[in-house]
Every structure is written in structure tokens, then in C-alpha cells.
Amino acid sequence: MKANVMRMVMGVVIIVVAVILMPIELTAVSGIVNDTNIATFTGVSAIAKILSLVILVLVMFSGGLISWGGYQGKSTSKGDMMKIIYGLVTLFIGLTLFPIILDTFQTLITTAGTTYTGFSSVAAIVPLVVLVAFAFGGGWLMIGGARGGKGKSKKGEASEW
């Protein structure tokens, strides 16, 4: 078995970069949790409180999976590395912009909530869906990039992963 040192190093680099960016993520999540109108939105506070831990575990898992694949001699394409980078960017930018989304929905609820039947109930749930979409989308990209290309090989056999 010949190890792919470049992939092993990339796994460690991804972990290091994510840990360096973790204070930005923690600041963004604390902005969400400490929002003055957080009680208006169903479930957002509970999800936001565990999101930092989930992101940290996800990054460690992705980086470890990449390094382990390198140890086993698997190669990584540029597209797989870009998926991981896009996943991190999705998570961090999404969380940074999320307090703006909360403020926007609070404005919608206060201005149009009494005029339209059921609008405030639906608008109180939408930020939770958006938050979960950011977390799930970024995580899906990161895990997909860490796993590498998957599918049938040219011979019709299953891929090595």
C-alpha cells in the first residue's frame, strides 16, 4: 500500500483552517443565540446552541476521512477539494448572514403578521428551515468532498470507496 502524502496533508490543512475559522463561527452563532427576538422563532435557539459542536465534529470527521484515504493510497481530485472548501464557505457565510435573516423575518412578522392569516406562524418556522439548510448543505458538500468520487468504474465494478 502506497500512501498519498498530499491527501494526508490536505486533511490536516482542512482541520487547521477550520479551527482557525472557528472563532468567526462562534461569533456568528453567539449573535444568533443572543438575538433579542430569538424566542419568536420556533426551534432556532436549540439548533443554534448545538451547531458549533456539530460543525467542529463535521470538520474533524472530514479532515480525518481525507487523511485516512491518503494513508490508504487514494487520490483526491480538485473537485473534491473544492467541495470541502465550498462546504466550509457555505457554513461560515451562512451563519454570518443568519442574524440579518432573523431581523428580516422579525420585521415581516411584526408588519404583516396581523394582516394575513397564518403568516406569522409560517414566518416563525422559516428561519429554522434556512438554518438547517445552511448546516445540512455545507455538511453534505464537505462529506461528499471527503469521500471523493463515488459511482461505477469504467469496468462496471463498484468504486473503491
Q: What is the pLDDT of residues 32-63, one digit of tens each?
A: 888 888 888 888 888 888 888 888 888 888 88
| pLDDT for residue 157 | 46
Q: What is the pLDDT of residues 92-148, one digit of tens each?
A: 888 888 888 888 888 888 887 677 777 888 888 999 999 999 888 888 888 888 877
Domains along the chain with CATH numbers:
5-147 (1.20.120)
Task: With a cut of 80, say whether residue 156 has pLDDT above it.
Answer: no
Note every long-range contact of 39-43, with CB atoms under 8 Å and residues 24 or more positions apart, other chains counting: 40/106, 40/109, 40/124, 41/102, 41/105, 41/124, 41/125, 41/127, 41/128, 42/124, 42/125, 42/128, 43/125, 43/128
Q: Which residue has the higher pLDDT, 73 or 156?
A: 73
| pLDDT for residue 153 | 47
* For range 136-161, the mean pLDDT: 66
Q: Give the residue ranges of DSSP H helices in the chain.
A: 5-33, 44-71, 78-112, 119-147
Amino acid at 92: F
